[in-house]
Structure 1
Amino acid sequence: MRNFVREKKIYCGENYMEVDLYSLSEYQLEKKKGKRSKKKYVSLPKQEKMNDKNARRRFIQLAETNFGQDDIFLSLTYKDIYLPKSYDDAQREIRNYLRRLKDRMKSQGVEEELRYIVVTSMREPRGDDKGVRYHHHLLLSCGLDRDMIEDCWRRPRRKGQKKGDLIGYADSKRIQEDINAGILGLANYLAKHTSYKRKWSCSKNLERPFERTNDHKYSRKRLIQYALNPYDIERWEKIYPGWTVADKDFGIEAKYNDFTGWAVYLKLRRKIKNKLLE
């Protein structure tokens, strides 16, 4: 039975793409050799624990598809007095926060929809801690300035108060894209950081990444050649014009399996044109 090399491109928005190159048998092929597949949307991982490598990868793809330059990365913590007693309490608190954001957007005349991914982190008690410590990280697009976003991390106002009590620390920053950091660096941090247990959820209006496959571009001989010398960035830039490796340390991976042979995985980012040279 003959083997083929499949190229699978996973498109995540306009500026980020992942490429998988791997062998599979004629029996495994869904389409006849030489045919290019139709667009197929990537299924999302369950919005729970990110303890599976494929689930973490899907999380990164979703983040790359929907967030980027000038969107917001927000971290929210709790004062001891307001520390949630359970995960459900923490989720209730973050839902209330998102509702306050929507109210602030409406009062400010913001017409765009709120888009977000929220990761809730849980650290087991240690030292003088009396319970699980919770905090939240959000990738956010809402049309509000950072001061307004941070100011919504408050409890409802009580009688005689101009503003409700701050729940904890709120720290936001604008996402700045470059080759080695930006949204990919943040998504990798959220997906891989292991000192906390993490669960995540997202707004329903996010765009999903999609994939296409091609079964005639690479030969097995060429795949082996590339897998044995995978870190030739100039070569990948020639094969995929207009793209470069997104992460110099973790953007290229070559693996060997006794059953399927070699496979290569690439994380690519679209090259940014220098406007001064145009």
Structure 2
Amino acid sequence: MRYRKKVYGKTMCEVTDYHTGRTYKKQSARQKKEKVTPLQMALQNQKNAESQLRMLIDINFHEEDFYITLTYEIEPTLEQAKKDITLFIKKLRRRYTKLGQPLKYIYTCEGERRIHFHILVNRIQDMTVKELKGLWPHGYSKKEAYQGEWRDAVRIASYFVKESDRKLEATGFKRKWVSSQNLEKPKVKKERLHSNTWAEAITPPKGYYVETDSIVEGVSLAGYPYRFYRLIKIEEPKSNQKWWKTKELNTPRNRVHVERCST
């Protein structure tokens, strides 16, 4: 018997098969648990943070939302930078409120050399360069379109967490990222599986395919085996898209073979 955890986003679902002391076979040899080093714990925390952030991004932000970069012409103090980004969010929220729409955002601060911010914001209408300058008069500001694909959520989450990890102590920001309170949380489903091992083949459910590069089999810090993989939702074909392009991807349900991890 083992556990399976599924975390559902908008374009993907992340699956983890794992064991605990209750589900692991008594006759199986558990890998000897070693003392967890600070580096191992830091890497695990980073992995957990990335997982949480990419699903938040995937479920809350869509194609053509804004990816904004804010920099300084004159380097501020840390305290001033905190005040500036807080004021920027307040002014942005005020603008959204006037339009009768809620503001959703996630931002991170970088500052090992020069302090600057990266922000994901939901789009309600176009924002001109002049408007953005009015909201951020401290230096250069850049607005790009978020692409809205699963790859973008994975890439941005990794960038936010890794950059903030490297520069967290330098900037003094306690959290790896800051987000609005109105973000939708991903749905999490946990279940017990009767089998104590996972099959060599990963067969995705209908409407998904397996991202093969995401498959990881390993041993947790507690000494139990686990397997992680990512399922990508298959987009409905557009009217001008050949039907076989989607059919080819979904037949025979993209079964992926991996080496079995026995217990």
Structure-1-length-normalised TM-score: 0.67
Within the candidate set 53, 56, 64, 2:50 is matched to 56
Q: What aligned pairs does 1:104-119 form with structure 2 within 5 A after superposition?
A: 104-106=95-97, 109-119=98-108
Within the candidate set 112, 115, 120, 1:139 is matched to 120
- 1:219 paired residue number: 195
Distance 1:25 1:239, change over 3 A: farther
Structure-1 separation of matches of 2:149 and 2:57: 15
Distance 1:245 1:151, change over 3 A: farther
Q: Tell me by how many angstroms 1:140 deviates.
A: 0.6
Structure-2 separation of matches of 1:204 and 1:19: 26
2:139 aligned counterpart, secondary structure: coil
8 Å contact 1:242–1:270 — kept in the other structure?
yes
2:115 aligned counterpart, secondary structure: strand
Within the candidate set 172, 186, 201, 2:178 is matched to 201
2:107 aligned counterpart, secondary structure: strand
8 Å contact 1:112–1:143 — kept in the other structure?
yes
- 2:76 paired residue number: 84
1:275 aligned counterpart, secondary structure: coil
Unmatched 5+ residue regions in structure 1? 29-49, 125-132, 155-165, 227-234
- 1:65 paired residue number: 59
- 2:156 paired residue number: 186
Structure-1 separation of matches of 2:143 and 2:210: 28
- 1:210 paired residue number: 187
Q: Tell me by how many angstroms 1:151 deviates.
A: 2.8
8 Å contact 2:61–2:148 — kept in the other structure?
no
Question: Aligned partner of 2:101: which letter?
Answer: E
Q: What aligned pairs does 1:141-156 form with structure 2 within 5 A after superposition?
A: 141-147=122-128, 150-154=132-136
8 Å contact 1:6–1:214 — kept in the other structure?
yes
Distance 1:68 1:253, change over 3 A: farther
Distance 1:145 1:257, change over 3 A: closer
Structure-2-length-normalised TM-score: 0.70
1:191 aligned counterpart, secondary structure: helix
Q: Tell me by how many angstroms 1:167 deviates.
A: 1.1
Q: Tell me by how many angstroms 1:173 deviates.
A: 1.1
- 2:208 paired residue number: 243
| Higher mean displacement: 255-264 or 181-190 | 255-264
8 Å contact 1:22–1:264 — kept in the other structure?
yes
8 Å contact 1:23–1:260 — kept in the other structure?
no
8 Å contact 2:210–2:232 — kept in the other structure?
yes
Distance 1:104 1:151, change over 3 A: farther
Instruction: Kindly provide the CA deviation profile for residues 11-32 of structure 1, in whole angstroms up to 9, marking residues without a partner as x.
Output: 23x322211111234379xxxx
Structure-2 separation of matches of 1:99 and 1:53: 31
Structure-2 separation of matches of 1:93 and 1:60: 26
Structure-2 separation of matches of 1:27 and 1:243: 28
1:101 aligned counterpart, secondary structure: helix
Question: Aligned partner of 1:188: which letter?
Answer: S
Q: Percent identity over the alignment?
A: 23
8 Å contact 1:153–1:167 — kept in the other structure?
no
- 1:275 paired residue number: 238
Within the candidate set 116, 120, 124, 2:109 is matched to 120
Q: Tell me by how many angstroms 1:265 deviates.
A: 1.0
Instruction: Kindly provide the CA deviation profile for residues 161-216 of structure 1, in whole angstroms up to 9, marking residues without a partner as x.
Output: xxxxx31111111111345x322221221122355336321111111123111212
* Cα RMSD for the two superposed structures: 2.8
| Mapped pair 1:254 → 2:214 | no
Question: Aligned partner of 2:219: which letter?
Answer: Y
8 Å contact 2:3–2:23 — kept in the other structure?
no
8 Å contact 1:76–1:169 — kept in the other structure?
yes
8 Å contact 1:146–1:173 — kept in the other structure?
no
Q: Tell me by how many angstroms 1:79 deviates.
A: 0.7
1:99 aligned counterpart, secondary structure: helix
